Copies of this chain bind each other. A is one copy, B any other.
Amino acid sequence: MREICICLEFLTEQHKDQIREAAGAAGFEPRFFTLDQFEEARDCLQHCEVLYAHSPELLKAAPASLKWYCCSYAGVDPYCKDPGLFANPDCMLSNSSCYGVTIAEHVVMVLLMLLRRMPEYEEVVLNRGWSNQLPIRSIRDNRFTLLGLGNIGFHVAERLRGLGAAEITGLSRSGTAREKVYDQVLPISALEEVLPRTENLIMALPGTAETRHILNRERIALLPPGALVVNVGRGSAVQQEALIEALNAGRLAGAALDVMEPEPLPKDDPLWTAKNLILTPHVSGNMTLGYTCDRNVEMFCEDLKNYAAGRPLNSLIDRSRGY
């Protein structure tokens, strides 16, 4: 019997039944573990051709007979940066782009918090004060620039549209987007032209060599005064020191980072005290939301069918490109 090694924390009994059914239909036997059963999982992995997990250590322990590693996370930068993790150089890597809904809700939340000046109002309330005349802004009739038009970018754009956004400009590597939810789509190479008219920048890029420090000091300086920056992709995309300076100088009105470098953030990092910065400890796409978990399992089962039938995987990653 062909075997699948599954090492995940979030699976309910219902999810396991769903996987058993899909695996059975495709001629596979699933073996379930959690991370505290690392050794048992590693032993089992020696005779499995598929691994569904989010553990570089486990992947590294897999023999050359592993043919497909389905990562339950969306960001696969650790796997693309280090080809040595794969004993089989041709092992397929897929990711799980099921985080768009929850991350988009996070983006809408922090955007509204920044537009409506919640960091400042929270300070007023902390001091038991009562003042309410700060000029605020609205999503309705406002313009947004999305950097990265994958699953997250799409769900963000869809929600901004529903909230009455006036204009949504999308930037992707190819200069195209699968979904028709953007007012215009440009290649990332147009970034420097777009920044001076970008009042609200939302970043949802994968962590690759190309995206590293894509929002650097020079580009932060191109944003108009009072602009807002939200990053939910990878911390490496932002030159943090320059962002902190722009925030503390009041040149940017605010920012929200759910991702940063390094994670966890050291206790003495200047990000903790930057002005009008909403920091969250990488929570936007976490697995504590039922919908995200359900969709994760669903996507794996769909691709298991594809794998068994010899069809291309829906979520296949180009390991050299990094996404």
Contacts and interface: CB of A to CB of B under 8 A. Distances in A.
Contacts of A105: 112, 115-116, 138-140, 163
A38 interface: no
A130 to B, nearest CB: 3
Interface in A256-275: 263-265, 267, 272
Contacts of A162: 159, 161-163
Contacts of A102: 136, 138
A279 interface: yes
A137 interface: yes
A261 to B, nearest CB: 13
Contacts of A265: 128, 130
B118 A109 contact: yes
Contacts of A263: 130
Contact of A116 (B136, B141, B267, B283): B283
Contact of A288 (B106, B108, B128, B133): B133
A121 interface: yes
A112 to B, nearest CB: 4
A283 B109 CA distance: 17
Contact of A280 (B125, B137, B280): B125
Nearest to A107: B112
Nearest to A126: B272
Nearest to A161: B162
B140 A291 contact: yes
A129 interface: yes
B286 A132 contact: yes
B121 A283 contact: yes
Nearest to A267: B128
A204 to B, nearest CB: 17
B289 A108 contact: no
A93 interface: no
A321 to B, nearest CB: 28
Interface in A78-125: 101-102, 105-106, 108-109, 112-113, 115-116, 118, 121-122, 124-125
Contacts of A312: none
Contacts of A124: 281
A132 B283 contact: yes
A282 interface: yes
Contacts of A163: 105, 108, 159, 162
A283 B161 CA distance: 24
Contacts of A134: 283, 288
A122 B123 CA distance: 12
A133 B291 contact: no
A159 to B, nearest CB: 6
Given A130-B265, A135-B288, A135-B289, 14 more contacts: A105-B112, A105-B115, A105-B116, A105-B163, A108-B112, A109-B116, A116-B283, A131-B281, A132-B280, A132-B281, A133-B288, A138-B291, A159-B163, A161-B162
